[in-house]
Amino acid sequence: MDRRKFLKTLGAGALATTALAAGCDNPNQTQAEGFALGEVPTDKMTYRTGTHGEKVSLLGFGFMRLPTVDPDDRQSDLDQEAINQLTDYAIAHGLNLFDTSPRYCQARSETSLGIALSRHKREDFLISTKLSNQSYDIWTREGSIKMFEESFEKLQVDYIDFYMLHCIGLPARDNEGNEIDPMKAFYGRFIDNGILDFLIEQRAKGRIRNLGFSYHGDVKVFDEALAMHDKVHWDHVLIQHNYINWQHAGALAEKRGTGDANSEYLYGELAKRDIPVFVMEPLLGGQLATLPKFAADELKQREPEQSLASWAFRFAGQQPRILTVLSGMTYMEHLQDNLRTMSPHKPLTDEELAMLRDIAVRYAGISLIPCTNCQYCMPCPYGLDIPTIFAHYNKMVNEGNVITDDLAEDAPAEERRAYRKARRAFLVGYNRAVVPERQADRCIGCGKCLPECPQQIDIPGKMLMIEEKSK
Amino acid sequence: MLRKIRIVLACLFFAAITLMFLDFTGTLHTYLGWMAKVQFLPAVLALNVGVVVVLVLLTLLVGRVYCSVICPMGVMQDCFGWLGGKVKKNRFHYAKNHWILRVVVLVVFVLLMVFGLGGIAILIAPYSAYGRIATNLFQPVYMWLNNLCAFFAERAGSYAFYSVDVWVKSGLLLLIAVVTFVVIGFLSFRWGRLWCNTICPVGTVLGFLSKFSLLKPRIDQSKCIGCKKCEKNCKSMCIDIDTHKVDYSRCVACMDCIDNCPVKAIRLTTGKAQPAPAPADQKVDSSRRKFVVTTAAVGGAMLLQAQETKVDGGLAVLEDKQLPERQIPLKPFGAVSLKHFANHCTACQLCVSACPQQVLRPSKSLTTLMQPEMQFDRGFCSPDCTRCSEVCPAGAIKKIDTAQKSAISIGHAVTVPQNCLLAQGETCNACSRHCPAAAISIVSDPSTGHSRVAVNESLCIGCGACEHYCPVRPFSAIYVEGREVHTAV
């Protein structure tokens, strides 16, 4: 063989290898959502009616996970051009509710939403934001009022349609790092400093049109807030609701404290008092758009053209007192897919509901970590990339690459092969997703993340578990 | 024919040894490890009598085929020499032997080794010099190529390749490798095996033996037509056609002259009987399988960048760890003692290139220059890995299994309480949780009211897990101090 021939063969071999690698998709791969193509209707959006007669689109735009200029770097500048485009498109297709918080996207979300909406007529959209006074420093009346006023400036509006006490039901930490229980935190943040009364006044003055709260965690605080309904007259309440949370909120994974109550209970209590319901996490942080194979197959079997996410949105909008379903849509495709689902919303049949109930039972049996990638826990002082570690773990669970037991000494060859393959996928994928200095084994169990997590995940405990699996 | 056999064998040996240095996954060492162990100097240092005897006998039988086939430095020089021949044909002529220089270099080399200055002596040791070139110059290219594959594999959803860090383990060593590569490359490009026949200590020893070898290329004066084709193409410059003599101390038994001679006047014989010339094959010099292929593939990959690691926006900045100043350096499990290690190690870097945890790296201290030592900023010495002890050809790291490894202590952990998070009232158990020997406990410290770390030195093996996992940066609050003599736990 001469040299030229050799080189040729070498080149051909390399090409073949690449082609082979490209063609070898993992048969167990997560079922990514697909999109039904065709026009997105502009005039078919389903609307529900709020306490004061507002016409609210059933799909609301959550401004928590906004596109950044560098998609791989969430710290990089928000991509305002893309955000404007998404906003324009949403409004053009009948979506009219935008939800934000002073806390979202490293405190850049309200400003960005303000810019995007300043280009539209005020009567074409509804704004929802929150009093996010979680840090102990701004529990004071002055600190909280300052945050309230800043929202008007950043959003460039003189009234806010929906205003909420952000995240009641979670514990907090004082400046010395001592944990404050959820009920005390609720009173400290909103009642003892007179902020709730202040907001009721503001509602009377018309600066805010609707007053409500968002809830995560200890259900006692939820009940306590609802007990104030006769005095406060809550106009709306934001809860986490999806076909897993409906009856399996507790079974998602073992949690610290109590975890969220089932949304079936929460919705029931609100409907009883005729309080309209805002829904968050209809996709459980995207997990219901990338389902385990068994669930994906079942849904695709029934509706091959519909995305996996569409089922979750149909479920989230099913109950009559649901006012709007908030979704953080980073990409145009997500927005289009969700607009299709809600234009108009097709209620699920009893048979379809039963199918989702079955999927929920099986899903709850898989121990996924219910992280929604909200980034509240970040940055971890010891450098861990908590949401990415959890995302990798969940992906591996969905793909069947998490190994529960060690390989038996006398395991048959086939089992050995499968074991090695899964181990390799888990470890190689882990190093790709997270650099070693930021992996689970670096957790020192300081617990600073614990009060931050709205899902009340036992983050250090999960880190230990993942460390064990990755040894 | 003999020449072709030599070239094929040399290519095989060279490719395999180079691959062994390139491979970072550890799969090839199992199959190719013996190739390092049959190298002359490592075998001498390892007191590997069997290998030394076989090599000596081989040389006494057919001359310095070791230099032409087994020694990777020799084969590398032949590659350069071949390129030189492309530029200028028939460029050699007979040169006289520099016996005095050769002997002086050899004696100095041996003296340096004996008096513990091996670190300097091994600069000219052929196998380890090639090892340094392969690890420092070739392995990074190989890794970049791998990372390129990993880049595509990741996009194709395949886990076949994984990305590895390419980093300079020692700038000084890189410099030494570059200098060695350039100097020896240039010498062989111009003057063939000049280096082997003046400087190389192994060449001198084997050269002395090969004077007495049984089979040698001998010139049949009755047939010789005096065309000097052999002399002009002898890379050892040891054929003198005017006197029809060959200086066998410099002949590396490459068999080029035998295949080159147009009248078959040179043959590999014992020199006793002169049988009638048998009809030999006609064509000469038809097969030229060289390493240009490898070089070309490698060169292309040089242009490609390593993948940048993705870093999320909301991440705390992690300062790089700084290495502690150890009073006694840490040598790998199986190294027995600092002295034993220094006396046997040829600094070939095979263990450094094989270390999966990136713990081993060349030392900068003068007396143990380039010999590996351990640092824990990138990983720790995992108790279930014995790869360095498996690959060491010189017996500097003795072969141990994991059970033996767990019973050796190469060092002991030392705490720096004022750096420790516990002293600031924080909760942390990184060192004790990661200690594979259960040698670290967290005890209460009544003097401060906080807890603190305590090391049970009788259990500590010095693996460095505590130092590696300590979250305090840049200086870990716990680090490992070496032992002069490794002890039993």
> Contacts of residue B310 in chain A, CB cutoff 8 Å?
72
Integer Cα distance of A98 and A70 in angstroms: 24
Q: Which of B153, B159, B293 sits opposite A10 (nearest CB)?
A: B293
Nearest-neighbour CA in chain B from A281: distance (Å)? 21
Query: How confident is residue B273, by pLDDT bands cut at 50, 70 and 90?
Result: low
| Cβ B124 vs Cβ B109: under 8 Å | yes
* Fold classification of B408-489 (topology level): Alpha-Beta Plaits (3.30.70)
Q: Which of B289, B314, B318 sits opposite A375 (nearest CB)?
A: B314
Burial (CB < 10 A; 0-12, 13-18, 19+), residue A125, is buried
| Cβ A445 vs Cβ A460: under 8 Å | yes
Helix (H, G, I), strand (E, B) or coil at B70: helix
Nearest chain B residue to A386, by CA? B315
Element containing residue B141 per DSSP (H, E)? helix B139-155
Q: Which of B158, B314, B317 sits opposite A21 (nearest CB)?
A: B158
Q: Per the CB < 8 Å rule, is A441 touching B471?
A: no
- Tell me what pLDDT residue B210 has: 93
- Tell me what pLDDT residue B11 has: 95
Integer Cα distance of A127 and A237 in angstroms: 15
- Tell me what pLDDT residue B136 has: 92
Interface test with A, best of B25, B304, B315, B467 (most A CBs within 10 A): B315
Nearest-10 crossing angle of helices A293-302, A308-316 = 80
Burial (CB < 10 A; 0-12, 13-18, 19+), residue A198, is middle
Exposure string (b/e) for B57-94, b if CB count within 10 Å is 16 or more?
A: ebbbebbbbbbbbbbbbbbbbbbbbbbbbeeeeeebeb
Contacts of B49 (CB under 8 A, 6+ apart): none
Q: Which of A1, A385, A447 sits opposite B312 (nearest CB)?
A: A385
Q: Per the CB < 8 Å rule, is A444 touching B434?
A: no
Question: Which amino acid belongs to residue B313?
Answer: G
pLDDT above 70: percentage of residues in chain B: 91
Nearest chain B residue to A18, by CA? B152
Q: Which of B156, B289, B434 sits opposite A22 (nearest CB)?
A: B156
- Tell me what pLDDT residue B3 has: 92
DSSP category for residue A131 = E
> Contacts of residue A75 in chain B, CB cutoff 8 Å?
312-315
Q: Per the CB < 8 Å rule, is B427 touching A68?
A: no
Using one digit for the tens of pLDDT, what is the confidence trace for B303-316? 332 323 222 336 78
| Cβ A164 vs Cβ A130: under 8 Å | yes
Integer Cα distance of A304 and A295 in angstroms: 13
Nearest-neighbour CA in chain B from A195: distance (Å)? 31
Using one digit for the tens of pLDDT, what is the confidence trace for B69-108? 999 999 999 999 999 999 988 889 999 999 999 999 999 9
Nearest chain B residue to A424, by CA? B159
For A47-87, give the DSSP string. EEE-TTS-EEESEEEE-SS--BSSTT-TTSPB-HHHHHHHH
Q: Which two tokens stand for residue B227?
A: 């065309």
Integer Cα distance of B479 and B413 in angstroms: 5
Query: How confident is residue B282, by pLDDT bands cut at 50, 70 and 90?
Result: very low
Interface test with B, best of A432, A434, A446, A471 (most B CBs within 10 A): A432
| Cβ B10 vs Cβ B78: under 8 Å | yes
Q: How many CA atoms lie within 13 A of A43 on its CB side?
A: 0
Q: With left for phi above 0 and alpha for psi between -120 and 50, is residue B28 left, alpha or beta?
A: alpha
DSSP category for residue B66 = I
Mean pLDDT, chain B, as a whole number?
Answer: 86
- Tell me what pLDDT residue B101 has: 93
Question: Which amino acid belongs to residue B51?
Answer: V
Question: Which residues face B453 on adjacent strands?
Answer: B442
Integer Cα distance of B304 and B129 in angstroms: 27
| Cβ B452 vs Cβ B420: under 8 Å | yes
Question: Which amino acid belongs to residue B305?
Answer: Q
- Cβ-based neighbour number of residue A387 at 10 Å: 21
Provide mean pLDDT across the span B172-179: 92
Question: Which residues face B239 on adjacent strands?
Answer: B246
Q: Per the CB < 8 Å rule, is B314 touching A106?
A: yes
Q: A47-365 falls under which CATH superfamily? A: NADP-dependent oxidoreductase domain (3.20.20.100)
CB pairs under 8 A between A and B: 99
Nearest residue to B461 via CA among B430, B431, B432, B489: B489
| Cβ A280 vs Cβ A325: under 8 Å | no
Using one digit for the tens of pLDDT, what is the confidence trace for B412-457? 999 998 889 998 888 899 999 999 998 998 988 888 888 889 999 8
- Cβ-based neighbour number of residue A26 at 10 Å: 15
Using one digit for the tens of pLDDT, what is the confidence trace for B180-218? 999 999 999 999 999 999 999 999 999 999 999 999 999
Query: How confident is residue B285, by pLDDT bands cut at 50, 70 and 90?
Result: very low
Per-residue pLDDT of chain A (471 residues; tens, 9 = 90+): 444 544 444 444 444 443 333 333 444 444 444 444 568 888 999 999 999 999 999 999 999 889 988 887 777 889 999 999 999 999 999 999 999 999 888 888 999 999 999 999 999 999 999 999 988 888 999 999 999 999 999 999 999 999 999 999 988 888 887 889 999 999 999 999 999 999 999 999 999 999 999 999 889 999 999 999 999 999 999 999 999 999 888 766 455 556 788 999 999 999 999 999 999 999 988 889 888 888 888 898 898 888 999 999 999 999 999 999 999 998 899 999 999 999 999 999 999 999 999 899 888 877 788 888 888 888 898 999 999 999 999 888 877 787 766 677 777 888 888 888 888 888 888 988 899 999 999 999 988 888 888 888 889 999 998 998 887
Interface test with B, best of A392, A431, A444 (most B CBs within 10 A): A444
Nearest residue to A299 via CA among A363, A355, A349, A362: A355
Nearest chain B residue to A425, by CA? B159
Nearest chain B residue to A378, by CA? B314
Q: Per the CB < 8 Å rule, is B315 touching A438?
A: yes
Nearest-neighbour CA in chain A from B365: distance (Å)? 29
Contacts of A132 (CB under 8 A, 6+ apart): A101, A102, A103, A147, A166, A167
Q: How far is CA A307 from CA A90, A314, A328, in A?
A: 19, 11, 16
Element containing residue B239 per DSSP (H, E)? strand B239-240
Question: Which residues face B411 on adjacent strands?
Answer: B482
Q: Pick the residue with more confidence: A24 or B487?
A: B487
Q: Per the CB < 8 Å rule, is B318 touching A438?
A: yes
| Cβ A175 vs Cβ A140: under 8 Å | no
Domain boundaries, chain B: 2-272+289-294, 408-489
> Contacts of residue A445 in chain B, CB cutoff 8 Å?
427-429
Using one digit for the tens of pLDDT, what is the confidence trace for B130-156? 999 999 999 999 999 999 999 999 888
Nearest-neighbour CA in chain A from B157: distance (Å)? 6
Q: Per the CB < 8 Å rule, is B297 touching A18?
A: no
Interface test with A, best of B146, B154, B159 (most A CBs within 10 A): B159
Nearest chain A residue to B315, by CA? A379
Q: Per the CB < 8 Å rule, is B471 touching A444?
A: yes
Q: How far is CA A20 from CA A264, A421, B137, B151, B152, in A?
A: 49, 17, 30, 14, 11
Could you tell me how far CA B198 lies from the centroid of its own chain?
A: 22
Domain boundaries, chain A: 47-365, 386-469
- Tell me what pLDDT residue A32 has: 43
- Asked if B429 reaches chain A (Cβ–Cβ under 8 Å), the answer is yes
Q: List, in sequence order, every beta strand (DSSP E) within A285-388.
A: 322-328
> Contacts of residue B311 in chain A, CB cutoff 8 Å?
73, 435
For residue B474, whether the previous peptide bond is cis, meaning omega lies within 30 degrees of 0, is yes
